[in-house]
């Protein structure tokens, strides 16, 4: 099993370290050749409109869409969640997204950078709380009936899964706890 980490923007190297700590063979994905060598993909945080632009200019958007449509497991955090959503409530007209999970999201819903926060989350499948970091995080504003909720914060969905797609509005890679990545790898 080889897991790719989209390496165009964001904390991709930290995701890679987290996955390697779990024994995964990893590849930083910057080209279609890189993408073709992986069995699963992690889409890190960053700025979603910039990431959408970079995916287009690197000619990775469509090949990733094809792989997702063919059930490649994918895990999106923060901006990755936004790109995987069915709809972006406040996205730019030129922003592309995958529609891979039946959720609608609002960008930066938890506030600006200075309003970032950390909290403990109860997560389905984990025996103890997960310490989560929310940085300009998106919020799920609509949840499809086939989407499995794995965690909520103050009633709002912050971790979810549908089929081979998993998304988090927080940054699990910025902690020393690899259990969220482990949940993803269980699906690979």
pLDDT in tens, 118-174: 999 999 999 999 999 999 899 999 999 999 999 999 999 999 999 999 999 999 999
Please tell me the least confidently modeled range out of 64-68, 103-107, 123-127: 103-107
Other beta carbons within 10 angstroms of residue 22's beta carbon come to 14
pLDDT at 187 over 90: no
Other beta carbons within 10 angstroms of residue 180's beta carbon come to 27
pLDDT at 86 over 80: yes
Q: Say how far apart CA 30 and CA 46 lie, in whole Å.
A: 15
pLDDT confidence tier of residue 90, bands split at 50, 70 and 90: confident
Q: Which domain holds residue 146?
A: 2-185
CATH number of the domain to which 180 belongs: 3.40.50.880
Question: What's the number of domains the chain is made of?
Answer: 1
Beta bridge partners of 73: none
Return the active site residues.
Answer: 78, 171, 173
Amino acid 188: pLDDT: 85
pLDDT at 92 over 80: no
What pTM did the predictor assign? Answer: 0.95
């Amino acid at each position: 099993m080889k897991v790719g980490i989209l390496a165009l923007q964001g904390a991709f190297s930290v995701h890679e370290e987290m996955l390697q700590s779990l024994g995964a063979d990893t590849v930083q994905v910057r080209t279609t050749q890189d993408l073709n060598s992986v069995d699963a993909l992690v889409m890190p945080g960053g700025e979603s409109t910039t990431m959408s632009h970079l995916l287009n200019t690197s000619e990775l958007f469509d090949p990733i869409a094809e792989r997702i449509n063919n059930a490649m497991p994918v895990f999106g955090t923060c901006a990755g969640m936004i790109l995987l959503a069915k709809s972006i409530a406040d996205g730019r007209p030129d922003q592309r997204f995958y529609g891979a999970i039946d959720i609608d999201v609002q960008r930066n819903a938890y506030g600006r950078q200075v309003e970032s926060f950390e909290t403990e989350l109860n997560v389905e499948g984990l025996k103890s709380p997960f310490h989560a970091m929310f940085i300009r995080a998106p919020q799920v504003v609509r949840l499809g009936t086939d989407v499995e909720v794995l965690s909520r914060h103050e009633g709002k969905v912050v971790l979810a899964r549908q089929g081979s797609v998993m998304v988090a509005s927080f940054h699990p890679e910025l902690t020393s706890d690899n259990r969220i990545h482990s949940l993803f790898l269980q699906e690979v």
